[in-house]
Amino acid sequence: MKAAVLREVGKPLEIEDVQIDKPGPHEVLIQTSAAGVCHSDLHFQNGAYFYPMPAVLGHESAGVVEQVGAEVRYVAPGDHVITCLSVFCGHCEYCLRGRPALCRKEGLRRTPDETQRLSQKGEPMNQFLDLSSYAEQMLVHENAVVKITKDMPLDRAALVGCGVTTGIGAVQNSAKVPAGSSVAVIGCGGVGLSAIQGARLAGAARIIAVDMVESKLELAKVFGATDSVNASDGNAVANVMEMTGGGVEFAFEAIGLKATSEQAFAMLRPGGTATIIGMIPLGQTVEVPGVDFLSEKRLQGSLMGGASFRVEMPRYVDLYLQGRLNLDDLVSKRIPLEQVNQAFADMEKGEVARSVILFD
């Protein structure tokens, strides 16, 4: 099968032939239909985070089940599925406490002495985040998929596999934004726009979109932003404070930068909560004034929106089919696998919400 392989940090992905194994007892072989190009993949390509190489990247995807292992009962060939990097074991402390996104992933991967899921010329190929969806097929543990209705377009379903769930979940699960709240979202890419939608669905009264690209601020209004702040003048915090008369109750950072994370905290009114969704590069620290904790301001993280994905992803699919969740405008470009490096370049320039790779 064709796959996009990362062989060296900072270098373009290479489209190569990669071999994929047959399903083990609890594994599912999927024909990949669509894969979103997410900023998380770029973090590993540019060295902000590390993953063993060579690796087939990609983690936001949807497809059709081809084969299942002997013990799989949840899905069958022909089922349409969304994949999720939050593969869960179901029996560790975090799973049992209802936090599967933090699962220890015990027994979910093949052991080193077993044939690996991906290989090339007899040598193992690393599987990225238990998925590797920049490929024509995926071989994953059954607990990495959620079955969805065949009425759902798979190019939009793929976005639910990471960005949509991460953004909406950060609002509704991690921060638990109540109706009538004031919200600021820094960064209007795919995750930020999903956080804006999450705030709208939660009934937030005021949703302020913050970005440096005017076209993305206009797009944010399509997703539910009531106000916008262009941060290119360097006065984003002051502008939000002035607009709200003292700050927002909830702020979300959806870029992954030290500076914008600190800005999210600075935009809070007393008692407010800042949630960092973006992946801040390894080795960087976030600094906030210690005195602000005396006014009960909170700074927290969010992983995959704190979601129980097999419960929440089908709900997002239903909301889309009901016309209450906008996924159509999240797709900026539909591209073949061979254009994945251009999609990375577009993302670095801030020109797209999401590029989606389509497979024949």
Q: Please tell me whether residues 294 and 335 are part of one structural domain.
A: no
Q: Please tell me whether residues 105 and 240 are part of one structural domain.
A: no
- 40 noted as active-site residue: yes
Q: Please tell me whether residues 190 and 279 are part of one structural domain.
A: yes
Is the N-terminal amide bond of 54 cis, ω within 30° of 0?
yes
Kindly name the residue from 33, 39, 40, 302 that is annotated as catalytic: 40
- 59 noted as active-site residue: yes
What is the tens place of the pLDDT at every residue in 72-116? 999 999 999 999 999 999 999 999 999 999 999 988 999 989 999
Kindly name the residue from 26, 33, 39, 43 that is annotated as catalytic: 43
What is d(CA 272, CA 175) in angstroms, rounded to the nearest whole number? Answer: 10
Q: Please tell me whether residues 152 and 14 are part of one structural domain.
A: yes
- Domain membership flag for residue 290: yes
Within a 10 A sphere around the Cβ of 27, how many other Cβ atoms? 22
Q: Please tell me whether residues 19 and 130 are part of one structural domain.
A: yes
What is the tens place of the pLDDT at every residue in 267-298? 999 999 999 999 999 999 999 999 999 999 99
pLDDT for residue 311: 95
- 141 noted as active-site residue: no
pLDDT for residue 352: 83
Kindly name the residue from 61, 162, 174, 355 that is annotated as catalytic: 162
What confidence tier does 301 reach under pLDDT thresholds 50, 70, 90?
very high
Residue 118 pLDDT exceeds 90: yes
What confidence tier does 348 reach under pLDDT thresholds 50, 70, 90?
confident
pLDDT exceeding 70 applies to what percent of the chain? 100
- Domain membership flag for residue 169: no
Kindly report the length of the chain.
Answer: 360
Contact 192, 217 (CB under 8 A): no
Q: Whole domain around residue 321: which residue ranges?
A: 2-161+306-358
φ, ψ at 270 (rounded to 5°): -55, 135
Interstrand relation of 268-276 and 118-120 (parallel, antiparallel or unpaired): unpaired
Mean pLDDT of the chain, nearest integer:
96
- 43 noted as active-site residue: yes
DSSP-assigned states of every residue in 249-271: EEEEE-S--HHHHHHHHHTEEEE
From 301, 323, 342, give the residue that closes a domain.
Answer: 301
From 301, 317, 333, give the residue that closes a domain.
Answer: 301
φ, ψ at 192 (rounded to 5°): -60, -40
pLDDT exceeding 90 applies to what percent of the chain? 95
CATH number at residue 191: 3.40.50.720
Q: Please tell me whether residues 240 and 279 are part of one structural domain.
A: yes
The tally of domains found in the chain comes to 2
The pLDDT of 227-238, averaged and rounded, is 95
- Domain membership flag for residue 64: yes
pLDDT for residue 117: 97
Closest CA to 10 of 51, 46, 52: 46
Q: Please tell me whether residues 130 and 186 are part of one structural domain.
A: no
What is d(CA 233, CA 116) in angstroms, rounded to the nearest whole number? Answer: 51
Within a 10 A sphere around the Cβ of 19, how many other Cβ atoms? 15
What is the tens place of the pLDDT at every residue in 141-187? 999 999 999 999 999 999 999 999 999 999 999 999 999 999 999 99
Tokens of 91: 């029996």
What is the tens place of the pLDDT at every residue in 196-214? 999 999 999 999 999 999 9
Q: Please tell me whether residues 15 and 91 are part of one structural domain.
A: yes
CATH number at residue 314: 3.90.180.10
- Domain membership flag for residue 65: yes
- 119 noted as active-site residue: no
Contact 163, 38 (CB under 8 A): yes
Task: State the Cα angle at 38 between 256 and 327, rounded to 5°.
Answer: 110
What is the tens place of the pLDDT at every residue in 5-55? 999 999 999 999 999 999 999 999 999 999 999 989 999 999 999 999 999
Kindly name the residue from 26, 39, 59, 141 that is annotated as catalytic: 59
Closest CA to 207 of 193, 346, 66: 193
The pLDDT of 187-194, averaged and rounded, is 96
According to DSSP, the residues that pair with 273 across neighbouring strands are 250, 298
The label of the residue with tokens 């796959």 reads 3
Q: Please tell me whether residues 86 and 15 are part of one structural domain.
A: yes
Q: Please tell me whether residues 238 and 317 are part of one structural domain.
A: no
Q: Please tell me whether residues 207 and 288 are part of one structural domain.
A: yes
